A and B are shown apart, each in its own frame.
Chain A
């Protein structure tokens, strides 16, 4: 293998896997109208990782534990009628952020490793990181393939999905856990603070362009991968932080799709006809 290729194949693979998995789980987050899940998850992963560094435990293990715990808290809290889902997510967000800063504050010596988790370092991705990302991506795609029709029903309307006899609560919680594991797997490459954008921007861009769920999955994954590859390339050329360029690219893709969206007129027409804004029937 040529030395240049040996250097670049791991970051390239990480870009493809990270963009792909974030693009897919992002479709769930966007269609269920819970973008704060991405924020809470990414910060939970970050808090878990720095806690792991503080305690001398593998940070990815603690990040995964924090993420799964956060997802198991978010699910039941989001269903409580007396707390708005975004309020419960905001509470979880503040708790995990408190843990993260506490752990950073208690660290002794250089904090470079902890700060790296904020921005990520896709150019320095290890074989172990890649294996973890591949496992997370495989798990998400397997789940999607096995339960595609049920997930479509849940994304359409959770109440209706439950009413027709689909175990939607179990599927909803599984989606949250997989979302958390995907965030964890991408923590060291994209970064704990920036990955939220990679979960929200590509599916939001895809949402502007299609009325078909399968196409939305494909476009979202494509935009995710494209953003990561562009970010990697620009970083390679200019020494700019890859995570930041990835997020700026994905935001630019969203802006472009919004401008070109054939749905804008349809949405305005639909709202005008009904005299209402966007509603989530699952939480009527």
Chain B
């Protein structure tokens, strides 16, 4: 299932990446997830190379968000193995691994009266890296400022984080994820409920960050036109199963897309 990238690919027969090739960014082996009686993901096996921009597509309730959350350990698997950045992910080391994974959640609703500013919300992204019992330093504040400037949100720094528009909130969430200096960036429906201009702006920011920081990106969406052209890998999810993992040419196959969304 892997699609090798120059200098970043790995031997598909060696999922752990042993040898001179770097390990895949994400490696799932027979992973299943259930919420009580509902099976959210069934027996998923896939590898994602470092440097991939991967679009995760599928209808609502297919298991796309669950796929993202098992990569950063927010979701719990009932069977299988998850390796992230070359490390077998377990409960014990996930807290450390998460510091290398940026995450923009689907919708971060915040009370408009909540006593936290946008700048403080972005700084939250530095807390994990800084470690317990350590104060955030000037470099952390400078990094937060830099990421807010990159995402064009620094003018919102003092505003309460609950008083942002949808587009502003997604950009601030992106700044918070980038301030972690992640190697993997997980985006869960980042463009949903945004107007076309905000979708375009956010897409440009994500692509800019992808190139600038040499990230591995997984972007969940059910709006295919929101996937940027730079997305080189597509994962199709339906009824908790990964039905396709390969290059983006599949997006042009109308029959496949119709089957994916119409069969839901």
Contact = CB atoms under 8 A, between A and B. Distances in A.
B165 interface: yes
Contacts of A164: 98-99, 103, 124-125, 127-129, 176, 180
Given A149-B135, A152-B116, A156-B114, A163 B160 contact: no
B109 A279 contact: yes
A82 B36 contact: yes
Contacts of A146: 133
B180 to A, nearest CB: 6
Contacts of A274: 109
A153 B127 contact: yes
Given A147-B133, A155-B116, A274-B109, 12 more contacts: A31-B115, A150-B132, A156-B110, A161-B127, A162-B98, A164-B125, A164-B128, A208-B113, A211-B116, A266-B163, A267-B111, A276-B109
13 contacts: A149-B123, A149-B127, A157-B108, A159-B74, A159-B105, A160-B108, A163-B103, A164-B125, A164-B176, A210-B115, A213-B115, A267-B112, A281-B109
B74 A162 contact: yes
Nearest to B110: A281
A269 interface: yes
B113 A163 contact: no
A167 interface: yes
Interface residues of B, number: 44
Contact of A273 (B98, B103, B106, B165): B165
Contacts of B96: 165
A167 B133 CA distance: 12
B74 A163 contact: yes
Contacts of A210: 115
A156 B172 CA distance: 14
A279 B114 CA distance: 11
Contacts, number: 122
Nearest to A82: B36
Contacts of A167: 95, 132
A193 B187 CA distance: 46
A165 B124 contact: no
A89 to B, nearest CB: 20
A211 B117 CA distance: 7
Interface in A261-281: 263, 266-267, 269-271, 273-274, 276, 278-281
A81 B117 CA distance: 29
Given A149-B130, A152-B124, A216-B115, A163 B72 contact: yes
Given A149-B130, A213-B115, A266-B113, A284 B107 contact: yes
B105 A281 contact: yes
Nearest to B124: A153
B59 interface: no
Contacts of B251: none
Contacts of B106: 284
A280 B111 CA distance: 7
B120 interface: yes
Interface in A116-175: 146-147, 149-150, 152-153, 155-157, 159-167
A42 to B, nearest CB: 25
Chain A interface extent, by class = 35 or more
Interface of B: 35-36, 72, 74, 95-99, 101, 103, 105-117, 120-121, 123-125, 127-130, 132-133, 135-136, 160-163, 165, 176, 180
Interface string A174-210: 0000000000000000000000000000000001101
Given A147-B132, A164-B99, A212 B115 contact: yes
A262 to B, nearest CB: 10
A215 interface: yes
Which residue among B114, B120, B132 has the maximum number of chain A CB atoms within 10 Å of its CB? B114
A149 B136 contact: yes
A182 B129 CA distance: 31
B98 A165 contact: yes
A104 B130 CA distance: 51
A201 B247 CA distance: 57
A82 B37 CA distance: 11
A271 B110 CA distance: 11
Contacts of B123: 149
B111 A165 contact: no
Contacts of A276: 109
Given A156-B121, A163-B74, A211 B160 contact: yes
B128 A269 contact: no
